[in-house]
Amino acid sequence: MPLPVSPEILVVLGTRPEAIKLFPLIQRLQDHPRLRPVVVTTGQHKELVDYVLETAGCEIAGDLGVGRPGLTLNQLSSSVIAGLDDFVSARYGPPPERISGRVREDHYPAGCIVHGDTSSAAAAAVAAFHLRIPVIHVEAGLRTGTTLSPFPEELNRQLVARIASFHAAPTRANVQNLVREGVDIGRTFVTGNTGIDALRWAAAREVPYGRPELAWLEDDATSPVVTVTAHRRENWGEGIANIARATRRLADAHPDVRFVVPVHPNPRVAQTVRDELDDVPAVTLTAPMEYHTFARLLARSTLVITDSGGIQEEAPALGVPVLVARTTTERTEGVEAGVLELVGTDADTIVASAGRVLTDPAARAAFSRQPNPYGDGHAAERIVAAAEHLVFNSPVPQTSGPGFVRAQVLEWAGFHRTDAVEGPSYVREPAAVDHVPADLEDVVIKPKSTVDPYDEVSE
């Protein structure tokens, strides 16, 4: 008799960006009447991750303690694999011989969520695969196509994509990338980016800025505010200096406007920015901000000038125009949708474009004519609806993009359909090989069963 799976879903995360992008999902799973998140942190960015999760009211079930500075990628990966293995065996025991698709309390986890492209996410996916736990990949399908750039993230993404049963992709372009690599479209779902959910939640909390140089912003609800950030390596030197010079010229030309510049801690960036802007009264220079207060600042802004990657997705979600101070961007969907304008680092171009946004309401409105392609703030809701459908065979969630097919996901996770006494159900058989076989003849390759996705039986 196969054991049923539990409604628990592991969520494994290690870094601050993962915590930011996964907390909306953890919150929704915590509030879900039937599913339950089991959050496992790796211990990499311990204080930062704990702060983000605690602020969002997310409970941590376990920490793998992989926080030692200076770990190599291989040491980190092997520690995460071994640590997750220990955590799962301590909590659930060894992988059951047979698992049914039916769900009851206190048995093996129904899935393991990993996010994006970190080495810990890739290691957790490998560990979950070895433990026969289906992997759900959030923020799936981003690609540069060059495995050495970014390193090791690009290969990590591709590795997780090979393992994952279900791919929650932020955009349709991300799904296209996966399909191009041979992932069945039926195992993908366009959800938007959970980072947008996170940002909206954080911005709405109105956490006090809590620093003297921004005290004026607590009381001033009317002055137009321009937020400026710059830190990219390719802009070091002249690029950053030009962005700062443009900010100074804009401050001179628009005396009613206030400028806030969170200065990146890198000394090469900070020195250049300070040299240009230290003595400009309308410009407030401040240290890098906590995520929640930065979200509030973005929401308060009339315009953002930035070379950041993440902010290009975040500011449009709050309806704020973005001038991208770079010559290229990987966020091409945003430029096509008109929510971003690529201005490069020429000071004249930045001053002219910013001037238009600040003085012409039509120019400003043009930035929010199209919806933000990176998400509408409901990504976590979609992913949880998908998980609910996968685990409980509840109604298919409203699709965004091509949609997905439960049977294909289950089959990739190793389940096959069986006709048991109590009716047809999905059963996962034991792995053909649990340990490296002494002799290759020990390997039994089971033929893949075929599953008819349209012949589902409610469980």
Residues in contact with ligand UDP by CB under 6 A are 229, 231, 262, 288-289, 291, 294, 308-311, 314
We find the least distance from the C-beta atom of residue 308 to ligand UDP, in angstroms, to be 3
C-alpha separations of 161 from 280, 314, 399 in Å: 49, 25, 21
- Confirm whether 233 is a catalytic residue: yes
d(CA 8, CA 391): 10
We find the least distance from the C-beta atom of residue 294 to ligand UDP, in angstroms, to be 4
* CB closer to ligand UDP out of 102 and 292: 292
* CB closer to ligand UDP out of 15 and 165: 15
- Confirm whether 231 is a catalytic residue: yes
* CB closer to ligand UDP out of 131 and 311: 311
We find the least distance from the C-beta atom of residue 327 to ligand UDP, in angstroms, to be 15
User: What contacts 12, CB < 8 A, 6 or more positions away?
Assistant: 40, 41, 42, 80, 84, 112, 113, 114, 120, 121, 124, 128
Which of 102, 115, 231, 417 is catalytic? The answer is 231
Which of 8, 18, 63, 117 is catalytic? The answer is 117
- Using an 8 Å Cβ cutoff, are 230 and 306 in contact? yes
We find the least distance from the C-beta atom of residue 398 to ligand UDP, in angstroms, to be 28
- The residue number whose beta carbon is nearest to ligand UDP equals 308
* CB closer to ligand UDP out of 177 and 229: 229
Which of 233, 348, 419, 442 is catalytic? The answer is 233
Cis peptide leading into 150, omega within 30 of 0?
yes
- Using an 8 Å Cβ cutoff, are 118 and 153 in contact? yes
Which of 8, 63, 139, 313 is catalytic? The answer is 139
- Confirm whether 278 is a catalytic residue: no
Q: Give me the amino acid identity at 451.
A: V
Dihedral sign (CA 203, 205, 206, 212): negative
- Confirm whether 139 is a catalytic residue: yes
We find the least distance from the C-beta atom of residue 217 to ligand UDP, in angstroms, to be 14
Q: How many Cβ atoms from other residues are within 10 Å of residue 35's Cβ?
A: 21
* CB closer to ligand UDP out of 100 and 193: 193
d(CA 406, CA 137): 15
Question: Which of the residues are catalytic?
Answer: 117, 139, 153, 231, 233, 264
